[in-house]
Amino acid sequence: MTPADWSGKDQPAILGGAPAFREPIPVARPTLPGFEEISGELERVLASGIITNGPQVEAFERETAAWMGTEPEKVVAVSNCTTGLILALSLIEPPGEVVMPSFTYFATGLAATWNALTPVFVDARPGDFNVDAGAVERAVGEKTRAIVGVYVFGCPPPVATLRKLADAHGIPLILDAAHAFGAVQDGTPAGRFGDVEVFSLSPTKPVTSGEGGLVVCREEATAADLRRRRNLGILDSATDPTRGLNGRMSELNAVLGRASLRRLEKNLRNRRRLVGIYHDELGDVPGLGFQTLPPGAVSTFKDLAVVVDSDELGMKRDDLAEGLAAENIGTKKYFSPPLHLQRRFAGLSRTQGPLRVTEKLAECALCLPLYSHQEEGDVRRVTAALRRLVAHGEDVNRRLTELRREWE
């Protein structure tokens, strides 16, 4: 990324200084292989005439299993993560409740409502942003049919505790692992903790197939059932009674996914190195906090979030985001609003107690630019711009107030 004219580098762009970047830098972007790396496989796929239900998808499932240390028969490739979550929860007969965090992407909740199940939203923990296992325990009751955990930004949730809770109540543990391909807890990779774990392969993820998902199961029988559901519920004939949908991954997507998987270790190393720079450059800024990892947890850092204490920082989260936008720096307010405050779930869900931590995170968390091939210099420009905004906080707040009056 090319820096702007730095003659005004000591003044934030919103106050008339030069922006940190001439062209906008997004909060995320895909890290893709060169065409020469995948052209041979693409040519073979096209020449074969088999573009679905073929050997590339099967190879991708095998390679995923090898990476996670499980059997290929337990891995099911699907068209996307949301489809995978819907299929996973279709294993549960309605009616019933599914306990899950509210601080997550709305696809987690949609998978339940699509299956006529009631999401029961519970609170998060302030340090790692993951679901509070104590809140889950309090929410589990006679109507509970499953527990759903989420790897928030790639950080493992309290999987051991959730596993014990699920086993104690005889219900499945389903993990939304959309962010988690490459995450580890106590030496065990994500994919090995839940009865079903569902990974995303969309463009912002550490492994991408363009669009796609991977479902990893504890039992082969579960995976076999999901394969049938992935294929419209058909096993031997169209009269099979199993519910299903078309959730197949194409051969072309699998080619891209396999190439991306080969780069995973390198990509994760770079992401973690860049996160270290963010911590080094911003760790001493009063009023800024970071997601903290539990002992034994290794995150993918699908996203890098700062938490804004507006009283201490002297600036609200949304004002900081506007100031960074003036610098041509993209940000994302994950997950705002949280699921229990979204109209799409009104009347279809219930909330277990006040979700104070969740609401605070949704109000204060801001994701900064991070992607696997990002240059170190760009990260340092982002952090310098952020520090500059904080240093001029009073003037920035005043200018934003003036601008809002002009817009009214």
For residue 268, give both structure tokens. 């994760």
Name the segment(s) of the chain with CATH classification 3.40.640.10. Answer: 35-262
Residues tagged active-site: 205
* Residues 319 and 400 sit within 8 Å (Cβ to Cβ): yes
Which of 312, 355, 364 has its CA nearest to residue 125? 355
Query: What 3-state DSSP class applies to 13?
Result: helix
Name the segment(s) of the chain with CATH classification 3.90.1150.10. Answer: 264-407
Element holding 385 (H helix, E strand): helix 376-391
Q: What is the DSSP string of 93-159?
A: PSS-EEEEESSS-HHHHHHHHHTT-EEEEE-B-TTT--B-HHHHHHH--TTEEEEEEE-GGG----H
User: pLDDT below 70 — which residues of the chain?
Assistant: 1-9, 237-240
Query: Mind listing the pLDDT tens digit for each residue in 26-56?
Result: 999 999 999 999 999 999 999 999 999 999 9
104: which residues sit within 8 A by CB, 6+ positions away? 150, 152, 176, 335, 338, 339
What is the pLDDT, as a whole number, of residue 211? 98
Q: Tokens 């760790």, residue?
A: 283
What is the pLDDT, as a whole number, of residue 341? 98
117: which residues sit within 8 A by CB, 6+ positions away? 89, 92, 94, 95, 96, 97, 98, 145, 146
CATH architecture assignment, domain 264-407 = Alpha-Beta Complex (3.90)
Q: Give the chain's end-to-end CA distance (angstroms, integer).
A: 35
Query: What 3-state DSSP class applies to 178?
Result: coil
CATH architecture assignment, domain 35-262 = 3-Layer(aba) Sandwich (3.40)
Which of 166, 179, 162, 163 has its CA nearest to residue 107? 179
Query: Mind listing the pLDDT tens digit for each residue in 281-322?
Result: 999 999 999 999 999 999 999 999 999 999 999 999 999 999
What is the pLDDT, as a whole number, of residue 6? 36
The bridge status of strand 173-176 relative to strand 196-200 is parallel
- Specify whether the backbone of 328 is left (phi greater than 0), alpha (psi in -120 to 50) or beta: left
51: which residues sit within 8 A by CB, 6+ positions away? 45, 250, 251, 252
Distance CA 391, CA 310 (A): 14
Which of 188, 37, 119 has its CA nearest to residue 338? 119
Mean pLDDT estimate for the chain: 96
Task: Give the relative orientation of helices 376-391 and 264-282 as an angle to the nearest 10 degrees.
Answer: 30
Instruction: Provide the 10 A C-beta neighbour count for residue 239.
Output: 6
What is the pLDDT, as a whole number, of residue 408? 75
Q: Give the predicted TM-score (pTM) of the model.
A: 0.96
Rounded to 5 degrees, φ, ψ at 387 are -60, -35
Rounded to 5 degrees, φ, ψ at 206 are -60, -35
